[in-house]
Structure 1
């Protein structure tokens, strides 16, 4: 009998900066056996992807949105996601270079996390821990197990 593998947890990330998408991809590479990271260049691409998810496909366990993107930016995307019943409870993080309190307050007003982008590659591990902190408990447990905690 063939044993099937459990489905990977789905993380979606929209950012128009290629370097930032690569940074996050590298951060999640450590967990590629349990996490599937799908990236987009702007919010409307991410929303389109979600509209085409089949009923048997898992919903994302985390959505990461850059605040300042061309096209549909992170704030607009967050508003649209929170305006739907289906994605109202999915953990979402606004990911930005901004440290303005108003940006953080905006995220909180939509029940979203707020993470400032790292300026140096050495901060990637800390960044990943901050992003994972917004994930579902199920994914957090899988990651702890994989890290050997």
Structure 2
């Protein structure tokens, strides 16, 4: 975030098809200290439309961070990563894969597609809040992100 952006909310895009995980992420971010706007899409096709400001997402803000689930309908997280990182306009948006999969193949494939981080979702609420809190602290408070 550049100095000129101080005080503005951080724009977060959550690509997640599980309503329970969406609610947990919302609650965890509410507990945090960083002012943010959370935008939610339910599959990879909608994620790409949001990122490209197409269709219903024509006025969508450019996200400062994408939290990406791998297992989604229509277009999975790996496909979203591949498409994003091949696009000059989108490739600099940091992507944190936040998924239930701990499979080594998914981890390796995500990093091969240039994910910035890979985190496995904890099954309990406190663990989920902790992991989202660590994302918030690192990616939204510590890291210098590219300008929008």
The two structures have a TM-score, normalised by structure 1, of: 0.78
Structure exhibiting the larger radius of gyration computed from Cα positions: 1
Structure 1 residues 108-119: aligned runs within 5 Å: 108-112=111-115, 113-119=117-123
CA contact (8 A) 2:34 2:136 kept: no
RMSD between superposed Cα atoms in Å: 2.6
Equivalenced residues, count = 134
Find the counterpart in structure 2 of residue 45 from structure 1.
46
CA distance in 2, matches of 1:108, 1:49: 23
Gaps of 5+ in 1: 143-149
Q: How does 1:1-149 map to 2 (within 5 A)?
A: 6-31=7-32, 34-52=35-53, 59-112=62-115, 113-132=117-136, 135=139, 139-141=140-142
| TM-superposed deviation, 1:39 | 0.5
Deviations 1:11-44 (A, max 9, x none): 1011111101111111111348611110111111
Moved more, 31-40 or 101-110: 31-40
Deviation digits for residues 56-83 of structure 1 (CA, Å, limit 9, x no counterpart): 9753111011111111111111111111
Please list every run of 5 or more consecutive structure 2 residues that lacks an aligned counterpart in the other structure. Answer: 1-5, 144-148
Distance 2:8 2:24 in 1: 24
Q: Do the aligned partners of 1:107 and 1:114 also contact (CA within 8 Å) in 2? A: yes
CA 1:57/1:38 → structure 2, altered by over 3 Å: closer, same or farther? closer
- Larger RCO (CA under 8 A, 6+ residues apart): 2
TM-score, normalization by structure 2: 0.79
| Distance of 1:88 and 1:34 partners within structure 2 | 24
Which stretches of structure 1, 4 residues or more, deviate above 6 A after TM superposition? Answer: none
**8 Å CA contact retained: 1:91, 1:134:** no
